[in-house]
Amino acid sequence: MTGWPASGKMSGMAIIELHDLHKTYRVHQKKEGLLASLTGLVRRTYKTVRAVDGISATIEAGEMVGFLGPNGAGKTTTLKMLSGLIFPTSGDARVLGYVPWERHNEYRRQFALVMGQKNQLWWDLPAADSFRLHQEIYAIPDAQYRATLGELTELLGVGGLVSQPVRELSLGERMKMELIAALLHSPKVLFLDEPTIGLDVVSQSNIRACLREYNRDKGITVLLTSHYMQDVEALCRRVVVINHGRLVFDGLLSEILERFSRHKIIKLRFHDGQMPERFDAFGEVLELSPPTVTLKVERAEVARLTGRMLAEHAVDDVAVEEIPIEEVIGEVFSTPVPQAEPA
């Protein structure tokens, strides 16, 4: 333990605090073949899987933080620990001053978890019936319930759908209902695990706009996982990136470009189509559509190569751009993670 006070007092404006958080699983290794299977009945072999391997971070009130990592990085496991659904192997965490896995009722009334691949609404009943159940579970006064429901249905544009069976709603409409159910009790912290997965572009945009407005108006603290970088770019200034259960980056989204992107994009349009025959000396050709070319060049070489191109060829237009953020995040994921010291 870290010695944090048991009273649940928060340090400064910190809403979420993680300190050296670990979660390991002992997994049975089943070998192929009949003999190996028979041997496994009396002498099993196991391996230890480190789902979360020493994460430390602090998130302050009102922040919307992107929590990124490849599949199997430990994102959902971390959210489940912060929600009190599973216990850590070691380490500490505080959310709103509470230890999540102690499952205090006061804590459970102040956070919400939305998982894009899980449903909390009754499939064959109207969403309104599930909302009434949530009202009873969280003991929401009737006047507050009606006001909050009206505000959320207006914000999400689904006022005419709450009396319709959930199974008859589109995927985007169902996700809006899931958000309403999660926000009915006015939580101070919202954990979002892939909230836009499987949604069409319009539905994704609508969900983002609603989350942005709700965060602005209510000051709710949000921890968001998503494989859609548009979600993260639209909502989060700060990102926490993990890989193989270990923290590899914690900072502003804009800083990732400077720290991890080794390249930039140069787009050139040549005068009267007078293009060089070869571009090998300038960079990697991403797209060639005379009279324009798009090159990927080393970040440190941008100024020199651009100057050389302008000096040697007639160029009508030139633009220098950053690598798309999703590609940069891919580079972060591929960065080798330092191995932990043996215990």
Q: In percent, how much of the chain has pLDDT > 90?
A: 56
Checking if the pLDDT of 115 tops 90, the result is: no
Checking if the pLDDT of 340 tops 80, the result is: no
Q: What is the dihedral of CA 237, 242, 246, 251, to 10 degrees?
A: -20
Residue 42 is assigned to a structural domain of this protein = no
Rounded to an integer, what distance in angstroms lies between the CA atom of residue 209 and that of residue 263? 31
Q: Same structural domain for residues 252 and 300?
A: no
* Domain region containing 288: 262-322
- Angle separating helix axes 142-156 and 127-137, nearest 10 degrees: 140
Element (H, E) at 50: strand 46-60
Q: Same structural domain for residues 214 and 95?
A: yes
Prediction pTM value: 0.79
Rounded to an integer, what distance in angstroms lies between the CA atom of residue 310 and that of residue 157? 52
Residue 287 is assigned to a structural domain of this protein = yes
Greatest extent of the chain over all pairs of C-alpha atoms, in Å = 78
The radius of gyration of the chain's CA atoms, rounded to the nearest angstrom, is: 25
Q: Which of 257, 283, 302 is the last residue of a domain?
A: 257
Alpha carbon of 125 to those of 128, 150, 176, 207, 281: distances in Å?
8, 19, 16, 23, 64
Checking if the pLDDT of 7 tops 90, the result is: no
Number of domains into which the chain is organized: 2
Q: Which of 1-15, 37-51, 233-247 has the lowest mean pLDDT?
A: 1-15
Residue 1 is assigned to a structural domain of this protein = no
Q: Same structural domain for residues 127 and 266?
A: no
- How many Å separate Cα 262 from the centre of its chain? 23
CATH of the domain at 168: 3.40.50.300
The bridge status of strand 221-225 relative to strand 64-68 is parallel
Q: List, as one string, the DSSP characters of 240-259.
A: EEEETTEEEEEEEHHHHHHH
Query: pLDDT digit string (tens) for 242-258?
Result: 988 999 899 998 888 77
Q: Same structural domain for residues 106 and 212?
A: yes
